[in-house]
Amino acid sequence: MIQLQNYIRDIQDFPKKGIVFKDITPLLNSKQATQKCTEELIKLIGNQAIDKVVGIESRGFFFATLLAQKIGAGFVPIRKPGKLPYTTISQKYALEYGTDSIEMHVDAIKKGERVLLHDDVLATGGTAQAACKLIETLGGKIIQCNFIMTLDFLNGKEKIKGYDVASVLQY
Ligand code: AMP
Tens-place pLDDT, residues 107-128: 999 999 999 999 999 999 999 9
* Cis bond upstream, residue 58 (ω within 30): yes
* Catalytic residue selected from 9, 40, 96, 158: 96
What was the pLDDT predicted at 96?
Answer: 78
* DSSP percent split of the chain into helix, strand, coil, nearest 5: 30, 35, 35
What was the pLDDT predicted at 6?
Answer: 98
Query: Is the distance from the beta carbon of residue 51 to the nearest atom of ligand 1 less than 6 Å?
Result: no
Over residues 95-110, the pLDDT tens digits come to 878 999 999 999 999 9
Mean pLDDT lowest for which of 50-59, 70-79, 94-103? 94-103
Over residues 40-50, the pLDDT tens digits come to 999 999 999 99
Nearest CA to ligand 1 atom 15: 123
Report the C-alpha gap between 115 and 124 in whole angstroms.
21
Q: What is the mean pLDDT of the chain?
A: 97
What was the pLDDT predicted at 125?
Answer: 97
Cα 112 to chain centroid distance, Å, stands at: 20
15 CA distance to ligand 1 middle (Å): 11
Q: Is it the case that residue 18 has pLDDT exceeding 90? A: yes
What was the pLDDT predicted at 158?
Answer: 98
- Please provide the CATH number assigned to the domain covering 46-170: 3.40.50.2020
As a whole-number percent, the residues of the chain with pLDDT over 70 amount to 100
Report the predicted TM-score, pTM, of the whole model to 2 decimal places.
Answer: 0.98
Helices (H), the chain: 25-29, 31-45, 60-71, 126-137, 156-159
